[in-house]
Amino acid sequence: MYIKPIFKFVHTYAKLPSRCFAQAKPTPVSNPKIMAINESLAQELGLDIEQLQSDNAAQILSGNQLQIDANPIALAYAGHQFGHLTPQLGDGRAILLGEIITPNQQIFDVQLKGAGPTFFSRGGDGRSALGPVLREFLCSEAMHALGVPTARSLAAVLTGDYVYRTHALPGAILTRIAQSHLRIGTFQYFAYKEDTQALQELTEYAIQRHHIKITPYTPQAITLLEYVIQQQAQCIAHWMSIGFIHGVMNTDNMTISGETIDYGPCAFMDKFSYTRVLSSIDIHGRYQFNNQADIAQWNLARFAESLMPMFFKDKEKIRDVMITQLKTFNTLFHQYYIQNMQKKLGLLIPQEKDENIIELLLNILNQHHIDYTLFFNYLTKTNHPSAIQKEPIIQDLFADKITFLEWYKTYQHRLSQEQTTAIERYEIMRQKNPIYIPRHYLLEQAIQNAEQGDNALFFRLKRVLSKPFQEHPKDFDLSIPPGQEQWQYKTFCGT
């Protein structure tokens, strides 16, 4: 059977030592059908959208047929899972077909998730149910639209088969696109094995792949560490500013590029709580909302440790340099986070007291368990003269209005020191405070409907989440917070 190519592959990762991966041919499925294509991403990648919607594409994106230039592999990596090192994990249900180069000369991985078992599956079936595929598709594209660094979803393909978890579920395969799938755990894998040659080649590859500027007389490993610290600080600051909880920040889920990856037990905060835990498997709260920056720094320390075997001389000096670098994470994260929060509040001329205003507000939201996204929407609208009388009054969100109004008075005084008008602030805040986020109860409803063959809610969410800052009057219901019975929920790993 002739397969018309839809990608033009290159294979830079496969040129690394063979112990960095294992060959992994996808396992065929019975009846692949394209359920969803990410048209905007396809356009950015220089792909033919009409071709991606064809039966031919369904064969390729399900793994049933391989392009002649494909080289399917599963990547090797280790990882600290809830603080405990597992020396060998690897892609147990993900297969990298190859990389593509976009019209603007960027390089991206093309990976199939749920395409069957690999060498690293550890007895698993290597498959994915429809639910996790749709969750990652919607969450990753929402994150991209919100300006958060993330891997992205190109396609969701129905397999025509069932996968068996607690019960039989429709199967699906996700096509994931990423700048790379290099993880902190990738380096840990070879550090554990004391394979300095592989570590050196990985370091050189990461620097070249991500166009990291090399500083003369600085070891490449130090340059790479500095880059990863910077990328992770920006990413986690974005998470915190939009109320996103990753759920499982194991080192195998943290990328070198700073892209958010692996959307299994993730969720967006509804009622604000510093200590909110969403993952059903995080029984001790290790990855609760307010721990995410600290965990990121802990993960980066593990990354620094994994680079140490490359240094045979001056180990103490290199260790001191790395410790100094790691200390910059808190400074960078704090800087990015405060900048994000200032924009959410419409504060464009930074002042030292802004941090106190932000902290006091979050304490009030935490105390009263106010819906995070809804609050900032109301706050945004207070700067729009034509909307003030039409929208619910913001203080009605609070049982204790006095405490909030005291803060609001301070906030209004601070705004008077800006050089923008109310309507100008409204436009600025509107670009930082989304109306639509992938609320858990809506995702669950969309998944349940899709499992019964009704994809309407999925496509509605796909549409509004691609433009989360815009009003969508016909889809207003998708902006409504959950009811009490819908709020008390846990998320589950898609595996």
pLDDT value at residue 355 = 97
Residue 212 clears pLDDT 90, i.e. is over it:
yes
Is residue 494 predicted with pLDDT exceeding 80? no
Residue 172 and residue 35 in contact, taking contact as beta carbons nearer than 8 Å: yes
CB burial of 48-87 (b: ≥16 within 10 Å; e: otherwise) equals eeeebbeebbbbbbbbbbbbeebbbbbbbbbbbbeeeebe
Helix/strand/coil for 80: strand
Let me know if residue 128 belongs to a domain. yes
**Alpha-carbon gap, residue 348 to 420, rounded angstroms:** 9
Residue 271 DSSP symbol: B
pTM of the model: 0.95
Q: Reduce the secondary structure of 396-436 to three states and give it as a string.
A: HHCCCHHHHHHHHHHHHHHHCCCCCCHHHHHHHHHCCCCCC
Nearest CA among 140, 154, 14, 28 for reference residue 73: 14
- Model confidence at 215, pLDDT cuts 50, 70, 90, reads confident
Is 188 part of any domain? no
Residue at which a domain ends, from 143, 178, 213:
178
Radius of gyration for the chain, computed over Cα atoms and rounded to the nearest angstrom? 23
Average the pLDDT over 385-408 and give the result. 79
Distance CA 6, CA 175 (A): 13
pLDDT at 454: 98
Give the tens place of pLDDT for each residue, 122-146: 989 999 999 999 999 999 999 999 9
CA 119 to centroid of chain Cα atoms: 26
pLDDT digits (tens, 9 = 90+) for 160-172: 999 998 899 999 9
Q: How far apart are CA 381 and CA 426, in angstroms?
A: 7
User: Does some domain include residue 402?
Assistant: yes
In whole angstroms, give the CA distance from residue 82 to residue 286: 7
Evaluate whether residue 66 is within a structural domain: yes
pLDDT bucket at 487, cuts 50 / 70 / 90: low
Lowest model confidence (mean pLDDT) among 102-106, 133-137, 386-390: 386-390
- By the 8 A CB rule, do 321 and 226 touch? no
| 255-285 residues labelled b (16+ CB within 10 A) or e (exposed) | bbbbbbbbbbbbbbbbbbbeebbbbeebeee
With beta carbons less than 8 A apart as the criterion, state whether 155 and 36 touch: yes
Q: Quick one: DSSP state of residue 286?
A: T
Does 83 score more than 80 pLDDT? yes
Type of residue at 257? S
* Neighbour-count burial of 390, counting CB atoms closer than 10 A to its CB (0-12 exposed, 13-18 middle, 19+ buried): exposed
When pLDDT is cut at 50, 70 and 90, the band that residue 389 belongs to is very low
The whole-number average pLDDT for the span 434-463 is: 97
Go through the chain and tell me how many residues it has.
Answer: 495
In a domain, 425, yes or no: yes
Please report the sign of the dihedral spanned by the C-alpha atoms of residue 456, residue 493, residue 150, residue 156. Answer: negative
**Residue 67, domain member (yes or no):** yes
387: DSSP letter: T
Residue 480 has pLDDT above 60, yes or no: yes
Average pLDDT of every residue of the chain: 94
Q: What is the pLDDT of residue 280?
A: 82
Domain that holds residue 142: 9-178
Provide the CA 400 distance to its chain's centre, in angstroms. 35
pLDDT of residue 433: 97
Indicate if the pLDDT at residue 109 is higher than 50.
yes
Residue 345: CB partners within 8 Å, gap ≥ 6? 354, 357, 358, 361, 379, 411, 429
Percent of the chain at pLDDT > 90 equals 87
> What distance in Å separates the CA atoms of residue 186 and residue 198, rounded to the nearest whole number?
10
Q: Which of 178, 201, 228 is the last residue of a domain?
A: 178
Interior angle at CA 54, CA 50 and CA 58, nearest 5: 130
**Residue linked to tokens 């419409």:** 346
Residue at which a domain ends, from 383, 411, 430: 430
CA dist 216 and 220 (Å) reads: 9
Structural domain includes residue 119: yes
Could you give the number of structural domains in the chain? 2
pLDDT at position 73, please? 98
Q: What share of the chain is helix, strand, coil (3-state, %, to 5)?
A: 45, 15, 40
Decide: 492 and 264 in contact? Cβ < 8 Å: yes
- DSSP single-letter state for residue 212: P
Residue 37: its pLDDT value, please? 98
Per-residue pLDDT band for 392 (boundaries 50, 70, 90) equals low
Catalytic residues: 252
Residue pair 326/222 in contact by the 8 Å Cβ criterion: no
Q: Answer yes or no: is 399 within a domain.
A: yes
Q: pLDDT tens digits, residue range 331-380?
A: 999 999 999 999 999 999 999 999 999 999 999 999 999 999 999 999 99
Does residue 495 carry a pLDDT above 60? Answer: no
> What is the per-residue pLDDT for 298?
98
Widest CA span in the chain: 72
* Confidence band of 181 (pLDDT split at 50, 70, 90): very high
Is residue 390 over pLDDT 70? no
Q: pLDDT tens-digit profile of 397-415?
A: 998 899 999 999 999 999 9
* Cα 451 from chain centroid (whole Å): 24
Side chain identity, residue 265: P
CB atoms within 10 A of CB 392: 10
